Amino acid sequence: MADAAPEVPVPPFVAPERAMLEGWLDFHRATLLAKCQGLGPEALATRSVPPSTLSLLGLVRHMSEVERHWFSRVLLGERVVDRYCTKEDRDGDFDGAAADNAAEGLAAFSADCERSREIQAAAGPLERPAEGRWRGVEVSLRWILVHMIEEYARHNGHADLLRQAIDGAVG
């Protein structure tokens, strides 16, 4: 199921700031998919580090929500309805991850990342203030890109541990 992971791109070693930030963000997006590569739906939904509800699929679903939140809701100021999380289940992205929705979760993640790339490309300069606010505070495109890199880096660390617990794969 998860065999369609893209090759993980190497971020540029020397580049203008925007190319560097976008390169690192794409590196982390691809790294998350690479952690899922070769696993079937049951393994993707496995919560391999009890008592945590984290699973690789849950991380993919979470990052899908995060992509939509920062690029569509905050940067563009669009009204975005969360795909997985609700007031009743704020962790619906993790809690609802199951083998029977693995294909949908992976497809949604890929589509959300592509939409985020389109938004980034059309967003203008890094200093561009977002149309929406985060907790009432104005943020810039630069802040969003840096935050997204941090968010992926943290969760890719979780993905390393989850994958190793599933089948011993490291790296």
Q: One digit per residue, pLDDT tens: the chain, 171 residues?
A: 555 556 888 999 999 999 999 999 999 999 999 999 999 999 999 998 889 999 999 999 999 999 999 999 999 999 999 999 999 999 999 999 999 999 999 999 999 999 999 999 999 999 999 999 889 999 999 999 999 999 999 999 999 999 999 999 887
| pLDDT of res. 6 | 61
**CA 92, 95, 99, 100: dihedral to nearest 10 degrees?**
-40
pTM for the full model?
0.93
Domain that holds residue 17: 2-167
For residue 159, give Cα distances in angstroms to 2, 17, 44, 152, 171. Answer: 14, 27, 11, 10, 11
Name the 3-class secondary structure at 5: coil
CA nearest neighbour of 98 among 168, 42, 171: 42
Locate 42 and state its tokens. Answer: 């049951």
| pLDDT of res. 1 | 55
Number of domains the chain is built from: 1
| pLDDT of res. 4 | 52
The span from the CA of 68 to the CA of 88, in Å, is 20
Locate 73 and state its tokens. Answer: 């809701």
For residue 40, give Cα distances in angstroms to 26, 36, 126. Answer: 24, 9, 39
| pLDDT of res. 98 | 97
11 cis-preceded (ω within 30 degrees of 0): no
CATH number of the domain encompassing residue 122: 1.20.120.450
Distance of CA 88 to the CA centre of its chain: 22
Contact 66, 28 (CB under 8 A): no
